[in-house]
Chain A
Amino acid sequence: MHNQNRYTVSNAPFWHDGDRIAKTNYNIMLATLPAVIFGIIMFGLPALGVIAFSMSTAMIWELLFNLVSKRSISIGDCNAAVIGLFFGMMLPATAPWWIVVVGTFMSVVVGKEIYGGIGANPFNPTLIGIAATMLSWKTYFDFDAALVNYNFSFKALYPLGALKHQGHAAVDLFSMSNLIMGKQVGAIGTVFGLGLIIGGVYLILRGYIKWEVSISYIAGIIITALIFRMAKPDLYAGPMFHLFTGYTLFGAFFLATETSSSPVNLIPMLIYGLTGGILTILIRNIGAYPDGTVFAILIINLINPLIDKIRPKALGRGVSNA
């Protein structure tokens, strides 16, 4: 045949909805902005420093690992940036620089890259970093001590810490509106409950996170906290207190929904989220730690492959050849 142009030959489908990993991550970063900006305004420049340093070290770790393992450079997908951002958001504003360096190393390299990079991590990478640093340097995660030099217009006590030590009496120290509006002691990006909800709802509406996980996680928190409260009202805090303190909302919208460590089928997603919520409250109310979100989500990450086996039967499966 004659000389002719070379045409692109590829497989169907020839259309794509235009979604990319990078685009998803841009949207996640956008969704964290209300909470992050609030945190920076409240905690000042040190908070900005922690967030910026955390994001940049996370990206540098990924770049270094790409170079060492001789794989293609993958920081362009912004996954490392998101991990770094989340890590920074979960730290107190006064966190020392080396915690950030070690934490992002644990998150990006140990939490994600050694398993084979994006999509292969069995646990939420950020939580691997947070859990490692939190267990190793407990004092830096004591928010009361970390933020002792700040002059707040509200009660300068970490609500969950106070709850742990003083029981239900502590609940009355905090007004609900202050908790919702972020007027509480805590990590940079997780104190502003309303902002986290706005970001989470944005991601759910855009379809970038699994809404089933977020909603069932929150349901798990509310139901379990309510049961505890009804059993011993003088000892345990109510569901709303738990919802707007600690890492709860951040966990529900941003951590539990991390794609590769969470299920994809409807029923497993509901079980996964619900279990996460229940475990969070169990650890808070019965366990040793003031906030159970980190460990609860790591545990549900662990059961994810198992529960995700609950899935509908595929079309034509088990139909005998008529």
Chain B
Amino acid sequence: MIKRAFIGLTAPRLEYDLVEPDPKVPETIPIPPRLILLLNERLDSTKETILKKGSMVKNGDRLCLYRDSTEYVLSPVNGTITSIASYTGDLGTYSTYFIIEKEPLYDEKKTVTEFTSPVEIDPANRFLRALPGSPPFNAFMNPDKKIQTIVITGTDEDLLSDTHQYFLANHLDEMNQGIKILKQITGIDQIALTIPEKFKLPEQPEGLQIFKISSLYPGAIPEMIIKDHLNKVVPAGGKPEDLGICFISSEAVVSIARAYKGKKFIYDKLISVIDKEGTKTMVRAILGTPIHRIFRQLNITASEKDRIVIGGPMKGLASYTLYQPVLPDMDTIMIQDKKDISHVSDYPCINCGKCVKVCPAHIPVNLLVRFLEAGLYEESADSYDLESCIECGMCAYVCTAEIPILQYIRLGRHELLKIRSDREDSDREDSDREEEEAANA
């Protein structure tokens, strides 16, 4: 863990890691006998699922829950579904997991052409969203928010991670091919690439804008990239898509290139794994590999009360299980020994002002946290800029009172959405009732 510098006059400097010039070949994790695929849709007990326990699946099958589902996963292997169950995620999100028992004989080579002809957005959206890097093709499907700019991230959002940079450093050719295909699929010409400011591109790619991203955290967070390099500001509570900007990771672009070139689905996900000592290893694992397989291969033991983090140290999510599967957007896995876990207190804010100094979004964190602690979520959003937060975690990192500020903020946003949707529902009911009464009169 990075500790406070002795001289504390200036704001803390948290620097992004820079990928090594000649990185080692990533360690390959063998395909496990049992894969877990997580599907971003809630299991509905009143509806009948298409796939059932015992269903056979083939490599490349598009697995969905129901006939009208838009969410899907791709089966990386031939096998049998042994379980379909509900998975509880962060802040009451529910998803569904399939457990697939792999057939002993594994035939990998299979050519698929569903998405290659024609090279268009519809088939891409229908099949390729589950590629490693999870290309957000659905963002291009929204007619209300037309995407005009694509930003390819060769920089990693969080500290310690190297995954996006790895593709930038090692697979630039494939990235260029992927960018060409991406242009063809989306019809968008305005494409930018983010690179770390200290990274030297071997050649200037044609027709690409290059954004040199500051090595200081949180420079590589999408909202900051938009502010610093596109001179636009994402509206509070909005998304980059509202401004017509879509972010795609370098890994997603490479996966697209490989998928179209080989006419096959890609399942190999690259992950930066950080062990308890802080040593980083790149691993290549098939989507759906439970992370305990990765830990076993790297000789990492997860003991009671350790913390397993999916994502980096500032923005990640802690996982409660080692059966957490490798997902298309999982760039980093970090494990902390229980003795390294930072303390969290129930102290009130002492108004020291360090959070206000480090906040890149200029939020009055000292006041916001008081309102959030009191559960006043609407006031927090109206007067204290709850929705401007870009969730970089700097405030909680420097907090002298050790308040879990980011947790309050995430909870506050979640509750705010709930309050608003409840209100819309009741408004709708009211207006329905009024209409009914008017009709009756």
Interface residues, chain A, CB within 8 Å of chain B? 1, 4-21, 24, 77, 116-120, 204-208, 210-211, 259-265, 269, 311-317, 319-322
Contacts and interface: CB of A to CB of B under 8 A. Distances in A.
Nearest to B6: A206
Given A9-B320, A11-B407, A320-B235, A259 B352 contact: yes
Given A12-B316, A315-B361, A262 B397 contact: no
A311 B362 contact: yes
B350 A21 contact: yes
Interface stretch (B72-80, B135-143, B185-193, B297-305): B297-305
Contacts of A10: 307, 318, 341, 344, 404, 407
Nearest to B348: A119
Contact of A314 (B321, B349, B388): B388
Q: Is the interface of B mostly helix, strand, loop or mixed?
A: loop
A210 B348 contact: no
A259 B353 contact: yes
A14 B307 contact: yes
B41 interface: no
A1 to B, nearest CB: 6
27 contacts: A1-B321, A4-B323, A7-B302, A8-B306, A8-B307, A8-B318, A10-B341, A12-B317, A13-B313, A13-B315, A14-B318, A16-B342, A17-B397, A24-B400, A119-B350, A119-B401, A204-B9, A205-B9, A208-B8, A210-B353, A264-B366, A311-B362, A314-B362, A315-B227, A315-B236, A319-B238, A322-B243
B336 interface: yes
A25 B320 CA distance: 36
Contacts of B243: 322
A316 B361 contact: yes
Given A315-B223, A315-B234, 5 more contacts: A19-B400, A21-B347, A117-B348, A205-B8, A311-B364
A119 B350 CA distance: 4
Contacts of A311: 362, 364
Nearest to B14: A15
A15 B313 contact: yes
Contact of B336 (A5, A14, A21): A14
A288 B318 CA distance: 61
A18 B4 contact: yes
B91 to A, nearest CB: 10
The binding surface of chain A is classed by DSSP as loop
Interface residues of B, number: 82
Contacts of B341: 8, 10, 14
Contacts of A259: 350-353
* Most B Cβ at <10 Å: residue of A5, A16, A120, A205: A16
Contacts of B270: none
A263 B10 CA distance: 18
Contacts of A12: 309, 311, 313-318, 391, 393, 396, 406
Contact of B322 (A4, A11, A77, A260): A4
Nearest to B361: A315
Contact of B238 (A6, A262, A316): A316
B2 interface: yes
Given A315-B360, A322-B244, A20 B307 contact: no
Contacts of B399: 16, 19
B294 interface: no
Nearest to A24: B400
A7 B366 CA distance: 31
A204 B276 CA distance: 34
8 interchain residue pairs of minimum CB distance: A207-B8, A264-B353, A13-B393, A11-B407, A16-B342, A314-B385, A315-B361, A316-B236
Contacts of B6: 206
A18 B243 CA distance: 38
A211 B4 CA distance: 18
A314 B363 contact: yes
Nearest to A316: B236
A206 B319 CA distance: 36
B424 interface: no
Given A9-B318, A10-B344, A16 B397 contact: yes
A18 B366 CA distance: 19
B233 interface: yes
A315 B233 contact: yes
Contact of A17 (B4, B238, B344, B352): B4
Interface in B1-37: 1-4, 6-10, 12
